[in-house]
Amino acid sequence: MATIKTIGILTSGGDAPGMNAAIRAVTRSAIYSGFKVKGIYRGYRGLISNEIVDFKPQNVSNIIQHGGTILKTARCKEFMTEEGRQHAYDVMKQHEIDALIVIGGDGSLSGARQFASEFDVPIVGLPATIDNDLYGTDHTIGYDTALNTIMWCVDRIRDTATSHERLFFIEVMGRTAGFLALSGALATGAEAAIIPEISIEVDQLAELIENGFRNSKNSSIVLVAESPITGGAMGLAERVRTEYPQYDTRVTILGHLQRGGSPTAQDRILATRMGAAAIDALIEGQRNVMIGDHNDQIVYVPFSKAIRKDKPIDRDLVETLRRLSI
C-alpha cells in the first residue's frame, strides 16, 4: 500500500446527529498526525461531481453541537454503476486523495466496500445511523439522540392519550430493525413495541390485545417500527378499527423529527472517539473496516461482517417489556 498523505471525508445516506462531531474528530486527528484532509460534499455524488475542498482545523470549528452534517449528504444512483465509480476514482486521484473516511449507514458502507474492492482504496467507515442496525458495534452515531427525541415526544403524547383514554400507535424509524421502537418503549413506559424481528414469528397485535393489555389501564401507547413487516402504525390502526372496534385508536408518525436536533453527550463522545480511531486505523495499516464500539472499547469490524450480518435484537429486553406492560 502506498504511503497515505491525504485523506478524504464524506457523509452519505441519511443524516444522523453526531456526524459533525465525527467530521471534526477525523479532520483534527488527521491534521495532528500529519495528513492533509479534503472534505467531500454531498457524499458519493460530490466525489463524482468534484465538490471537494481543503479542510483545515477552522473548517470544523463550532460544529460539534449541531445536528445534520456540514458536508451535506445525497443519494447517488450514478455511483451504483461501474462508470460512476470509475469517474469517482479519477476525481479522487486528481485531488491526490489516498484514503477515504466514509461516515454513514449500511448503504454507505456497502458502497465503500465495493469501491475499495474495485480500486484498492483504503477506506475506514464510521457507523452513523439512528437505526443502530450495523453488526459489530453496540451503538451507532445518532442512535442515542434519536432515542431521546422519541422519549421526549412520547412523554407528551401520553398526556393526551391519558386524557382521552385512547390507544396510540406511535411510528418510529427502523425499516429492518426494531432497536428504536423497543428501547423507546422501555424508556417511555409504553405498553408494547411492534418490531420486524418479532413480527415474522408471531402476530404481535393479536397477541397484545388478546393478552388483555388494558386490563389495568385507561390508555395505552404502542411503539411501532416503520417496517412493512409490521404493517406500520397506519396499517395496525386500520386492523384495530376492523378487528377490535371497541378501541379508540390514534396514530402519530414521528418521521424525520427523529433525525434532527443537537446530539446528546453520548453521541458526541462516541462520534469523537470513533473519528479519532479511524485515523489510528489508517496509521496501523487497517483498511476496509468499520470502527465499532463493543463493551465501551473501540474495535475494527470488517465491512463484510458489518454489512452482511444482521444485528440481533436483545430478547431479554423484549421479555422485560412484556412483563412490565401489565
Both 101 and 175 in a single domain? no
Both 90 and 217 in a single domain? no
- Stated length of the chain: 326
Any residues with CB less than 8 A from the CB of 240 and at least 6 apart, and which?
167, 205, 209, 247, 249
Both 19 and 115 in a single domain? yes
Grid coordinates belonging to 63: 460544529
Strand boundaries in 116-160, DSSP class E? 123-127
Least confident span in 8-22, 74-88, 219-233, 288-302: 219-233
Both 134 and 155 in a single domain? no
Least confident span in 14-23, 125-134, 154-163: 154-163
What is the 3-class SS of 84-125, one letter each residue?
A: HHHHHHHHHHHCCCCEEEEEECHHHHHHHHHHHHHHCCCEEE
Both 285 and 252 in a single domain? no
Least confident span in 17-21, 241-245, 316-320: 241-245
Residue with cell 477525523: 26
Of the listed 15, 106, 131, 293, which one is catalytic?
131
Q: For 61-76, what is each residue's pLDDT tens digit?
A: 999 999 999 999 988 9
Both 233 and 299 in a single domain? no
**Is residue 131 among the annotated active site residues?**
yes
Both 136 and 267 in a single domain? yes
